């Protein structure tokens, strides 16, 4: 029996979440035991955040998705205020990305990401074909995006800025913006990002480490090299859950940014393919929900949520495989962390709300290539 979209989204999300909890414990238990005297320290915190996120997902799935359109602008303003508050916080590893609240730390950029997707979906649905006009359509949206990206880059958080840029450009394309305008915007973002990154010593070290890892094996390239070694040592079937050695001080941030590397070592190529297949199916469900809905706002919001997952997974994977400089982006639903986990789960709850009203038997054309449509249908 074929699962309804909303049920399939829930099943896939919980499957990835359970796998993530197992990987967080495996990757963090030695660090937790050494630093806090409790091998379950990190996984207990992650379990609490996951429970909170699942509750929010279930609540969001019961709320009419149209309600989020009314609060998207306010949510973006509040998120930008949170990003502004980061300038008064202490820097961690050269970046101010966390706001301390009641003994916890929050990352405003994660909430800004979802709010920005909501605002863009709302405005693109309102503009319709007028988005093809640079002055009266695309320019105001570009200004909003530029403000958010500017606040993120000044932290500096280039990994999140890059992910936000990719999400926004994809959503603008799906909303009907002209390719030539988006190409110019992408070039401007790339130029500005390179200039800003070059002015930050720690970011510059990562770039040098990526370009010439052998010359920077003990500095900017250390994490990337250890990551590739960990993944390669897993072979086809891995060493077994909990049997990896990279987490014993060889690979920094093993339970956060580089948890995919631990996964490759312990679960092997086959295990990684299974996990990535779950992500492909989840993103594919988001695309199918977007294609099946008649409401332009619902279609764009579903596509934006799906593309957020896609770009986060793609960037994290490229970093782990040393195909891209270290960015600091987590693997959604898997890496240890609170803000990203809760926000992704909440967004998937909104997606389930949209899926409930989707007319699955009437596919509404969207700007997806025919080859990609066939690929998604073949997988799902």
Residue 11 DSSP SS3: helix
Looking at per-residue pLDDT, the higher value among 32 and 365 belongs to 32
Residue 265, beta-bridge partner list: none
Residue 379: pLDDT over 60: no
**Buried residues in 182-198 as b, exposed as e (16+ CB within 10 A):** beebeeebeebbeebbe
The b-or-e profile of 86-101 (16+ CB within 10 A means b, else e) is beeeeeeeebbbbbee
pLDDT value at residue 2:
67
pLDDT digits (tens, 9 = 90+) for 283-305: 999 999 998 888 999 999 999 99
Question: Per-residue pLDDT for 259 more than 90?
Answer: yes
Q: In the chain, what is the straight-line distance between the N-terminal and C-terminal CA atoms, in Å?
A: 13
Cα-based distances in Å from 34 to 11, 28, 31, 113? 35, 10, 5, 35
The CA distance from 228 to 209, in Å, is: 14
Task: Tell me the β-bridge partners of 101.
Answer: 104
Higher local confidence (pLDDT), 95 or 87: 87
pTM (two decimals): 0.90
Of the candidates 62, 63, 112, the residue with the CA atom closest to the CA atom of residue 86? 112
DSSP letters, 176-232, are T--HHHHHHHHHHHHHHHHHHHHT-HHHHHHHHHHH-GGGGTTTTTHHHHHHHHHHH
């Amino acid at each position: 029996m074929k699962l309804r979209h909303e049920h399939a989204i829930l099943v896939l999300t919980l499957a990835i979440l359970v796998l993530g909890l197992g990987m967080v414990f495996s990757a963090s238990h030695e660090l937790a035991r050494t630093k806090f005297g409790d091998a379950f320290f990190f996984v207990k915190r992650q379990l609490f955040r996951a429970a909170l996120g699942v509750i929010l997902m279930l609540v969001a799935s019961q709320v009419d998705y149209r309600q989020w359109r009314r609060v998207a602008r306010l949510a973006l303003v509040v998120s930008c205020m949170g990003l502004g508050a980061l300038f008064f916080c202490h820097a961690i590893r050269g970046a101010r990305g966390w706001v301390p609240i009641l003994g916890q730390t929050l990352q405003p950029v994660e909430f800004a990401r979802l709010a920005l997707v909501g605002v863009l979906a709302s405005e693109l649905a309102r503009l319709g074909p007028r988005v093809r006009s640079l002055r009266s359509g695309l320019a105001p949206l570009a200004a909003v995006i530029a403000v958010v990206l500017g606040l993120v880059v000044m932290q500096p958080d280039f990994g999140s800025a890059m992910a936000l840029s990719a999400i926004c450009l994809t959503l603008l394309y799906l909303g009907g913006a002209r390719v030539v305008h988006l190409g110019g915007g992408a070039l401007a973002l790339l130029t500005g990002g390179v200039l800003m990154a070059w002015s930050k010593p720690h970011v510059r070290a990562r770039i040098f480490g990526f370009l010439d890892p052998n010359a920077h094996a003990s500095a900017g390239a250390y994490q990337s090299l250890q990551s590739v070694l960990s993944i390669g040592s897993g072979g086809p079937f891995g060493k077994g859950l909990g049997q990896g050695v990279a987490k014993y001080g060889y690979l920094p941030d093993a339970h956060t940014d580089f948890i995919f590397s631990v996964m490759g070592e312990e679960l092997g190529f086959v295990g990684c393919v299974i996990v990535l297949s779950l992500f492909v199916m989840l993103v594919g469900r988001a695309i199918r929900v977007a294609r099946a809905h008649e409401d332009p706002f619902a279609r764009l919001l579903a596509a934006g949520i799906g593309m957020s997952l896609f770009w986060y997974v793609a960037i994290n994977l490229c970093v782990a495989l040393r195909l891209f400089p270290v960015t600091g982006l987590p693997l959604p639903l898997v890496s240890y962390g609170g803000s990203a986990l809760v926000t992704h789960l909440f967004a998937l709850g909104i997606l389930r709300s949209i899926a409930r009203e989707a007319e699955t038997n009437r596919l509404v054309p969207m700007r997806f290539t025919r080859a990609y449509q066939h690929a998604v249908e073949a997988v799902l």
